Amino acid sequence: MPDPIVIVGAGQAGVALAAKLRALGYADPVILIGDETMPPYQRPPLSKKYVSGELDVERLLIRPRDWYAEQNVDLRLEQRVTALSPLNHELTFSDGSRLRYSKLALTSGARPRNLPAEIGGTLPGVVTIRGLVDADAIIPQLKTGMDLVVVGGGYIGLEAAAVTAAKGMQVTVLEAAERILQRVAAAETSAYFRDLHGRHGVIVREATALDRLTAREGRVAGVALKDGTELPADLVIVGIGVLPNDDLAREAGLLVENGITVDAQGRSSDPDIFAAGDCANFPWQGQRTRLESVQNAIEQAEHAAAAMLGAPEHYNPVPWFWSDQYDVKLQIAGLNRGYDQVVVRPGKRPGSQSVWYYRQGVLIAVDAMNDALAYAFGKKALEAGKTISPAQAADPAVDLKAAIG
Amino acid sequence: MPKVTWILKDGKEVAAEVPVGHNLMEVAVAKNVPNVIGECGGCLSCATCHVYVDEAWYGKTGGPDDMESDMLEITVAERKPTSRLSCQIKSAPELDGLVLRVPYI
């Protein structure tokens, strides 16, 4: 029997990769390694319906517990890989054991950036939300009326603000940049969400620099801003982005730059090692790209699986993302990188609107707020390589179906 | 527990008991019903859990709401009068015996 295909990282990408290997008819051993105690689960609900208590843990599972045995996928949890030897086709674990592979996939995801310890980033009561253990630690700390500060006005931070404000907490969001969502969205989308949060009683402070977190009795008690203001804080949720888990690959001598460098088939600089998902950096539309999304985790992993079995296909996605805040569903199609023009299209229902991004006159992305029709046709246009003029997109009288098909 | 049957395009059937309140996409994924993917986890963002509700049952499942109807515009397979996104159909006692047709092989 050949050495197994080994997948390091049991998240969306790892599971999708294992499932695709089986779907493509690969019958030899597949080992899926994770470092958590739970079988692979969905992370997006952690900052949404899981924290709010609407979804219990079993329903987070990507596949039921018995799926792995049924598919003959050897799921090994609570295992930490400490070293990789491409030369020997071998992994070393924290307990000193070793495992040989025929081909290896790294689907190790990303980890949250933390605030520096020097400014109080490691105080009790300062938390990030990435894993189930993080969410489970936060839930019992949430109390109605408490002062909660969210550091970072990106999607994770705003989702955390929405879910805690809805539970009756006094929430302040601090954003260092000029506006929330600055890195990922146009000013029009930022304005929509600033207004939404304001209407739910969340204080959004933009262009606000954090100086340090203050403590009382060994636990975070407040946030000191650079302008001298001090805010009370019973809990601080930090959402300032993630870092790719690419250390294992780097230490093994693979090419790594903001994630593990792979080609359009998911192959790394070593021909028998592949990577997919948040930890992988791939060529897309002429630029190196690293995406943090479920869509990318699944689809890139499926492409990598095909390449591992010798049937490579070019991975050329239309990326898509979503966020849920209060009663607003945000859906994003495409990637707005390098946009030079934005138009707003009013939706057909109150509170629904979409923001259309253009680069040199060509549609590149759509943010749709409670406007699935705009999302649907924006995505369809991007997938078909079609565009719609900014004037048409902005005109609610123009039928998107007729214009895009 | 309500029993639901998925009929694949090639005629093959998959049946499962679905706890009341669970949506029919999550159970289809758990049971490996081919091409019910549910990439977005059931949050109405991907349209990859598209099914045709058997016509005899459409009166009981009801039709899509506005958001779901909009998303049905981008299904891979053709939209038909009984098209639904199965993540938006929740198991309920009156759906015992429900038949869904999967529009792909």
On whether both A189 and A118 belong to a single domain, the answer is yes
Q: Is the pLDDT of residue A92 over 90?
A: yes
Tokens of A350: 């109150």
* A98 burial via Cβ count (<10 Å: 0-12, 13-18, 19+): exposed
Of B27, B67, B78, B83, which to mutate for an interface test with A (greatest number of A Cβ within 10 Å)?
Answer: B67
3-state secondary structure of A25: coil
Q: Is the pLDDT of residue A126 over 90?
A: yes
Q: Is the pLDDT of residue A246 over 60?
A: yes
Q: Is the pLDDT of residue A3 over 90?
A: yes
Q: Is the pLDDT of residue A90 over 70?
A: yes
> Nearest-CA distance from A372 to chain B in Å?
6
Domain boundary among A194, A219, A238: A238
B67 touches chain A (CB under 8 A): yes
Q: What are phi and psi of A252, to 5 degrees?
A: -85, -5
Distance CA A107, CA A280 (A): 8
For residues A150 and A283, the answer to whether their CB atoms sit within 8 Å is: no
Q: Is the pLDDT of residue A229 over 70?
A: yes
On whether both A301 and A364 belong to a single domain, the answer is no
3-state secondary structure of A251: helix
Tokens of A349: 């229902």
Distance CA A314, CA A17 (A): 16
* Of the candidates A253, A250, A246, the residue with the CA atom closest to the CA atom of residue A88: A253
Distance CA A151, CA A81 (A): 31
Q: Is A318 among the domain residues? A: no
The contact set of A with B (CB < 8 A) is 42, 44-45, 59, 63-64, 67, 70, 294-295, 298, 320, 322, 324, 329, 331, 349, 370-373, 375-377, 379-380, 401
Domain boundary among A308, A335, A362: A308
Distance from CA of residue A400 to its chain's centroid?
29
On whether both A123 and A220 belong to a single domain, the answer is yes
Tokens of A73: 């996928």
- Encode pLDDT of A345-356 as tens digits: 999 889 999 999
For residues A274 and A105, the answer to whether their CB atoms sit within 8 Å is: yes
On whether both A196 and A229 belong to a single domain, the answer is yes
Q: Whole domain around residue A342: which residue ranges?
A: 327-404
Amino acid at A27: A
Q: Is A315 among the domain residues? A: no
Q: CA angle, A93 as apex, A282 and A63 as ends, to 5°?
A: 60
- Encode pLDDT of A194-216 as tens digits: 999 999 999 999 999 999 999 99
- How many structural domains does chain B have? 1
Could you say which DSSP state residue B58 is in? H
Which strand (E) or helix (H) includes residue A388?
none
For residues A194 and A202, the answer to whether their CB atoms sit within 8 Å is: no
For residues A16 and A297, the answer to whether their CB atoms sit within 8 Å is: yes
Q: Whole domain around residue B67: which residue ranges?
A: 3-101
Distance CA A220, CA B45 (A): 38
- In the numeric block, the tokens 């408490």 are attached to A146
Q: Which of B22, B32, B45 sits opposite A331 (nearest CB)?
A: B45
Mean pLDDT of A270-283: 98
On whether both A172 and A281 belong to a single domain, the answer is no
Which band of pLDDT confidence, cut at 50, 70 and 90, is reported for residue A370? very high
What is the count of residue pairs from A and B with beta carbons less than 8 Å apart? 54
Q: Is the pLDDT of residue A329 over 90?
A: yes
Per-residue CA distances from A235 to A24, A203, A204, A357, B60 (Å): 47, 15, 16, 36, 46
On whether both A17 and A101 belong to a single domain, the answer is yes
Domain boundary among A178, A210, A238: A238
**pLDDT of B34:** 82
For residues A234 and A144, the answer to whether their CB atoms sit within 8 Å is: no
Transcribe A93-152 into DSSP letters.
Answer: ETTS-EEE-SEEEE---EEE----GGGTTTSTTEE--SSHHHHHHHGGG--TT-EEEEE-
pLDDT mean across residues, chain A: 96
Q: What are phi and psi of A90, to 5 degrees?
A: -145, 140
- How many structural domains does chain A have? 3
**pLDDT of A405:** 76
For residues B35 and B102, the answer to whether their CB atoms sit within 8 Å is: yes
Q: Is the pLDDT of residue B105 over 60?
A: no
**pLDDT of B32:** 84
Mean pLDDT of A126-146: 94
Weakest-pLDDT range from A93-107, A272-286, B63-77: B63-77
**pLDDT of B46:** 86
Q: Where are the beta strands (DSSP E) in A141-284?
A: 147-151, 170-174, 203-205, 210-216, 219-225, 230-232, 235-238, 242-244, 260-261, 273-275, 280-284
Q: Which of A67, A295, A372 sits opposite B67 (nearest CB)?
A: A372
3-state secondary structure of B98: strand
- Rounded to two decimals, the pTM is 0.94
Task: Using a pLDDT cut of 70, give the percent of chain A over it.
Answer: 100
pLDDT mean across residues, chain B: 92
The domain that holds A338 is classified in CATH as 3.30.390.30
Amino acid at A255: L
Q: Is the pLDDT of residue B104 over 80?
A: no
**pLDDT of A114:** 96
The domain that holds A201 is classified in CATH as 3.50.50.60
Sorted by sequence, the CB contacts under 8 Å of residue A379 that are 6+ apart come out as A318, A320, A333, A334, A366, B74
The domain that holds B56 is classified in CATH as 3.10.20.30
Q: Is A319 among the domain residues? A: no
Q: Would you give the end-to-end CA distance of chain B in angstroms? A: 28
Percent helix / strand / coil, chain B, rounded to 5? 30, 20, 50
- Which residues in chain B have Cβ-Cβ distances shorter than 8 Å to A295? 39, 46
Q: What are phi and psi of A73, to 5 degrees?
A: -105, 120
Query: What is the phi-psi region of residue A95: left when phi exceeds 0, alpha when psi lies from -120 to 50, beta otherwise?
Result: alpha
Q: Is A320 among the domain residues? A: no
Of A50, A59, A332, A401, which to mutate for an interface test with B (greatest number of B Cβ within 10 Å)?
Answer: A59
CB contact under 8 A, A45 and B41: yes
